[in-house]
Structures are given as structure tokens and as C-alpha cells.
Amino acid sequence: MKKKLLAVFLFSATTMLCAQTLQTSNKYFEVGNFKEVHNPAWGVTDDPWCINDHTFIYDKKKKKWHVIGITHARKMDYIKDPGLNLLHISADSLFQTPWEVHPHALTADFKKYKESVLWAPHCVHHKGKYYLYVCAGSQSGAHVHDSYQMNLYISKNLKDWERYKQNPLFVDGFDARDPMIIRDGNQWIMYYTANSTPMGGNHVIAAYVSKDLLHWSDRTIVFVHSRKGTFGGPTESPFVVRRGDKYYMFLCDGGHTDVYVSNDPLQFEQADLIAEINDCRASELIRDKAGNYYISSAGWFNGTYGLKIAPFIWKDGLENETSSLNF
């Protein structure tokens, strides 16, 4: 009888522990608790800033993690600073606290380059170069929402960035933003947030395809949400991961993230929704050298305005299949 009671107690304790350490759980994946690893406002009282949409990069030569992301004052003044700088921080490990702060990766230069904002960067490392894709706002000003440009910046060291001479790669609206690039076979796919028309309408995920990361095909729509509007909406901050023949798309909707799955990287439906991750915004999936996955969260709506990371455990049975996320 004592053994049975002990077994019941251990089972209950384990169950309670799992409940405390899992933020989200479903048949496809589990998300552990988020830990804040960096906050631009730490130690600042007069003018605290925040970090918003961001990108993770690992420098294999120096064995360092880097993050480049939107940064601005918590009390955002859209007229004074609609998001003109890209924060740059680095760390030896993902859960180092805090991360080392570097000078801004880039600052918008409207006078010289017609950059009215710098939003939501995504970085790809290919053949010794880092390709940083960034929403640069409209050439007529940040308030002209139907013609936001997607720009490219190239670096060999994550410090010195050169503007691609043929910027912009394309323009779109409403506030076309949040680029994310995935390699799929012999092509690259760039997903980004847009609307069914440049002036608004259904919130959509649009995409361009490239063979060389420089020249991009015509615009195609890969996901249409039934909700209509302009800024914000349920299709922000797309992040797509391939596992075997499955494509998982993570989309930010306010303060949470919706997850969709499809067999076609260029076709997702609302009916493909499989999970919702609460208190998770502008998320990216990260994979380390050991093969472990993590998910990030940042932005105005995560409660602390800093960068958070949580363990991400797949349960889809595809752990032996190839993935688009390689260390």
C-alpha cells in the first residue's frame, strides 16, 4: 500500500512539475517557460527602450550568437522615431544574461537613401556573406503606407553593412514588412506581412522567390486571413520552418502566436491552424549545435519589453527528417 501511495505521489508531483514548466503543449510541440535574457531598459529610468521584431544569427568562427532587431523608446513617438535604428547584441550562449550591447547595426538615412524606417530584419548567411533583409518604409515618408520598400544590406562580419545598390528589392503595402527567408531546395522564399491591396483589405502573407538572394520573382499570396484591416492584424512576423515534407508557419497576432502547417511552402489556409502560443510575439525558432530548438518572443506586448527565449520541443515524429533550420 505504501509503494502504491508513493507511486501516486511521484506521478502527481511529476505532473505538477510538467504543468509548471510547460507554457504550451499540443500533439505537434511543447513550449517551456520563457526566460528574459536581455532588456534595453535594464538599469535605465529616464528613457527606457525596448526590442521588437528581431533575427538570430550564429557566428561559427567566433562562436557567438547575435541578435539584430527593431529598437525604440517604450513610449514610442511615431513622428519623432517610428523605428529608425536596428539594435545589435551578442552572447556566448542563448541564455546569457544580459547580452553584450554593440553600436546600432544600422540607422535609417532618409536624406541619402530614402529610408523612413528600419523594421523587422531577417538575416541569412550564405557563402561567407550575411544578407540582412529589412523593411525600410516608404521613400515618401513613413506615413505613406501603400509603398513600403524591402531593402537588402550585406556584410562579411555582422558589423559593417553595405547597402545593396539595387534597393529596393520591391515595394508593397499596407506597411509591407517583417521579411523572413527560408531555403527550400534550390530556391529561397521570402515571406512577409502585407494586405490584399496596398491600401488595406485582408491581412495576408505574401512571398517572393529567388535563386540567388538578390533577384526576386513576382509577388504571390501564400496565406489569406479572413480578418481585414491595415496595420497590425493576424499575419505579422511570419516564420516558416520545414521538417521533412511539413512546413510550419508561425504568425504573430497581437500578443500571441498562431501556428499553421502545410505540405506546400507557398500555400497555407486558415484551416491549417494547429496551435496558439500565448504571451509570444514576433517569435523566431532557433536551433543550437546540439540540435535543440528554442523559440523567442519580444515587443511591446510581452509585458517586459525585452527579449525572451523558451525551450521548444517537437512531438511531430519528424526528428529524423531534414529541417530548414540547420546549425
* Separation of alpha carbons 161 and 323, rounded Å: 29
Is residue 1 scored above 50 in pLDDT? no
* Separation of alpha carbons 276 and 247, rounded Å: 16
Q: Which of 262, 263, 257, 264 is nearest to 236 (CA)?
A: 257
Q: Span 154-177, mean pLDDT? A: 98
Maximum pairwise Cα distance, the chain: 80
pLDDT score recorded for residue 80:
85
The least confident of 111-120, 207-216, 287-296, 297-306 is 297-306
Is residue 252 scored above 60 in pLDDT? yes
pLDDT score recorded for residue 303:
62
Look up cell 535574457; give the residue.
37
Is residue 15 scored above 70 in pLDDT? no
Is residue 32 scored above 60 in pLDDT? yes
Look up cell 513613413; give the residue.
142
* Separation of alpha carbons 154 and 82, rounded Å: 23
pLDDT score recorded for residue 301:
61
Q: 179-212 pLDDT, tens per residue?
A: 999 999 999 999 999 999 999 999 999 999 999 9
Which ranges of the chain does DSSP label H, i.e. alpha helix? 2-21, 110-113
- DSSP state letters, 87-141: EEEEESSTT-SSPEEEEEEEE--HHHH-----EEEEEEEETTEEEEEEEEEETT-
Is residue 9 scored above 90 in pLDDT? no
Whether 235 and 193 have beta carbons less than 8 Å apart is answered as yes
pLDDT score recorded for residue 18:
42
Q: Which of 227, 274, 232 is nearest to 249 (CA)?
A: 274
Is residue 249 scored above 80 in pLDDT? yes
pLDDT score recorded for residue 251:
99
Q: Span 36-54, mean pLDDT? A: 91
The least confident of 124-133, 138-147, 295-304 is 295-304
- Neighbour order of strands in the sheet with 64-73: 49-59, 64-73, 85-91, 100-107
pLDDT score recorded for residue 21:
56
Q: Span 28-33, mean pLDDT? A: 97
The rounded mean pLDDT for the chain is: 92
* Separation of alpha carbons 118 and 116, rounded Å: 7
pTM for the structure as a whole: 0.92
- What the chain holds in terms of domains, given with CATH numbers, is 23-314 (2.115.10.20)
* Separation of alpha carbons 304 and 8, rounded Å: 39
Q: Which of 304, 283, 305, 278 is nearest to 294 (CA)?
A: 283
Q: 90-105 pLDDT, tens per residue?
A: 999 999 999 999 999 9
Is residue 11 scored above 50 in pLDDT? no
Which class for 186: exposed (0-12), middle (13-18), buried (19 or more C-beta within 10 A)? exposed
Q: What are the beta bridge partners of residue 86?
A: 70, 106
pLDDT score recorded for residue 193:
99
Which class for 122: exposed (0-12), middle (13-18), buried (19 or more C-beta within 10 A)? buried
